[in-house]
Structure 1
Amino acid sequence: QDTQDALAQVAQRDAWLQEVATASVTGRLEGQSVGVFVAHGASADDVDQVVSALENAGASVGFEASMSAEWWAPELAAFRGEIADQVIDSVVGVEGLPSTEVLQHAIIQALVPDAVPAGADAPGDVGVEFPSDGAAADRADVLLEVLTRSELLSVSKRATGPVDALVMVTGDGPEGGGTMADVAASVWKQYVPATMLVVFGETESPPVATEAIEHGATLATANRPSIVIATESALVPPQLVFALVEQGAGGSGSYGTAENLPLIASP
């Protein structure tokens, strides 16, 4: 009986937290379009939690795309470099950048119409030819075809207009995966005011999150993505939404239940 009572109390607490969390974020992202990236290893339930939190806050999902294991596997760096070399002439604003960053620019420019990094000139003619059943209509189509045929990227929904924020959902990843994810999110900050990683895991300090936080510490605040370590499902909505609000205002932070982290960004 004592065990049943304890379980009932936990269930009641979780239900109360969920109600409070939902109420606290309602309307906070009203009218915003948020792109959702899903890294290999994230579960469908993880993605559903993030999408639900965004929609309950008034945002819409502008696009949803998944990165395969090849996107961040350290042993496939040479393969990714070859793909970057294929697309570089069709990617705006990447002159002199390493292939890892070129690839992240290519991904966002493939998914969002007319996307260019801050300060870059408008795109010119397509510089890459890629065999297709039908000729690529524009630069973004060429990029998307290369990225999907290489199986680095799969797309559930492509953006039809600008997006205001980008969220990457991750679970377990390879060694170095957290650094890769943070590099990508920092590149994407050149396109939108707010980028963040939501890392799901069984522990308070998943390796992907630890690596991402360490890499973020080397960046200027303006270029630093926020990190949310999602270990309590009831807390995911306020953690995610308030971190995005903070990002949009020019701030950044790392949040979770670990002892050295704040739980939630200040609303």
Structure 2
Amino acid sequence: MRDRRGWIAPVAVGMFALAIGLVLGSGPLRTALIGSLGVQVDSLEDQVAEAELAADQANVTNDYGDEWVDATAPQLLGTTLAGRTVAFVSVDDADAEAVAGAQAHVVQAGGTVAASVTVESLWTDPNQSAFRAALAPQLASSISGLDGTETVDQVFSQALAQALLPGTADPAAESAGSGDEADANAADPIGPNEEDRGAVLWALLTDAELVSGTRTGPADAIVMVAGEAPSDAGESSLQVTANLTLIGVFAGYDAPIVAANGPDADDDLVASVLADAAVLAPRVSTVTWIDTTYSQVTVALALREQFDGWVGHYGPGEGREAAPPPIEP
């Protein structure tokens, strides 16, 4: 026969532990044993509940704000970009939805999206530097205004600028000869030669897979939108340098330029532009938080302001405005 004494002790211990648990669940003994910890837990639970409520309220406010901006955008924008053509250039895996939203508001303002371009990773891939070095001289022969001292980044940037902005104060214009040809170019700022060269450069860039996207014709303004920089420090440095080179080349043309990105980050596109107080900041308008409806509308207004000869910096942060001033009729 089995000895039942072997299981009496475990059962007794289990019942005792259960009793202790029930006692500690509430009452003075619980307070005596855990002291103020229970009060702290209750306080933290209250704080969590308050934070959840605040987050819900913020979401409602944000959603309502987006709806309000969408509803009033037609009145805000009017026909401020009527007859204007804009090229969008995305770098660093820019948020495609944000870019599409900004493009929609440009169209809403009467403008046309002449190009929607993505700069591909091949542009800066450290493993493809030999390929880029071999390709640059081939592109250079189709680019006007070069003197042979340009870096590979500068050659590619000039190629893209002339592909998108043919006839907008081409760097070769100052060195162009005088006479009938010069007079004809002055009368027709986007002549057949410039547009042909732009189409050729676009074909060369896309065939080389340096860029992708669409180009339906020449643009007279640029919006450059950046995503997050690569996490790898080396790749990030290459990307920052390439972005600065590209925006700097764009700024050398007689065309409105707007740089935009998401929330502020060190060395992002907007920060790089603002850090260049001597050249880029007085020339290139900037917009942050491009993933919001507010900023997407601001891009269109900043373009209009640039066409009027003014530069502004918009979005949250010190030294920036909430939005451009109203457009005067």
**Which band: TM-score by shorter chain?**
0.7 to 0.9
Deviation at 1:28, TM superposition (A): 1.2
Query: Shift of the alpha carbon at 1:251?
Result: 2.9
Aligned ranges 1:144-223 → 2 under 5 Å: 144-159=202-217, 162-174=218-230, 175-176=236-237, 177-200=239-262, 203-205=263-265, 207-219=267-279
Q: State the partner residue of 1:46.
A: 98
1:249 maps onto 2:295 in alignment: no
Pair 1:38–1:259, CA change in 2 (3 A): same
User: Conserved in 1, the CA contact under 8 Å of 2:257 and 2:284?
Assistant: yes
Aligned residue number for residue 56 of structure 1: 108
Select the structure of larger CA radius of gyration. 2
3-state SS, counterpart of residue 19 of structure 1: helix
Aligned residue number for residue 128 of structure 1: none
Structure 2 residue matching 1:85: 3-state secondary structure? helix
- TM (norm. structure 1) is 0.77
Q: Which runs of 5+ in 2 are unaligned?
A: 1-51, 182-195, 231-235
Cα distance in 1, alignment partners of residues 70 and 266 from structure 2: 24
What is the count of residue pairs matched by the alignment? 249
- Structure 2 counterpart of 1:35: 87
Return the letter of the residue paired with 2:155: V
Residue pair 1:204, 1:229 contacting (<8 A) in 2 also: yes
1:148-171 per-residue CA deviation (whole Å, 9 max, x = no partner) reads: 232111132331xx4221111221
Task: Tell me if the contact between 2:226 and 2:261 (Cα under 8 Å) persists in the aligned partners.
Answer: yes
Letter in 2 for 1:204: D
1:262 aligns with 2:262: no
The 2-side partners of 1:92 and 1:8 are apart by 53
2:289 equivalent to 1:230: yes
Tell me, in whole angstroms, the C-alpha distance in 2 between the residues paired with 1:146 and 1:232: 31
Checking the alignment, whether the CA contact within 8 Å between 2:90 and 2:224 is kept in structure 1 is yes
Q: Is contact 1:64-1:158 (8 Å) kept?
A: no
Unaligned runs of 5+ in 1: 124-137
1:207 aligned counterpart, secondary structure: coil
The CA RMSD over aligned residues, in Å, is 3.2
Pair 1:245–1:75, CA change in 2 (3 A): farther
1:179/1:211 contact within 8 Å kept: no
- What's the TM-score once normalised by structure 2's chain length? 0.64
Bigger helix fraction: 2
Query: 1:75/1:26 Cα in 2 relative to 1: closer, same or farther (>3 Å)?
Result: farther
After superposition, the C-alpha distances for 1:194-251 in whole angstroms (9 at most, x for unaligned) are 0121212xx33463235422453241666x3222112561212442122212322333
**Are the equivalent residues in 2 in contact too, given 1:21–1:237 (CA < 8 A)?**
no
Seen in structure 2, the aligned counterparts of structure 1 residues 256 and 154 have a Cα distance that, compared at 3 Å, is same
How far apart, in 1, do the equivalents of 2:242 and 2:98 lie?
A: 20
What SS does structure 1 have at the residue aligned with 2:219? coil
The counterpart of 1:121, out of the listed 154, 172, 176, is: 176
Q: Structure 1 counterpart of 2:78, which letter? A: T
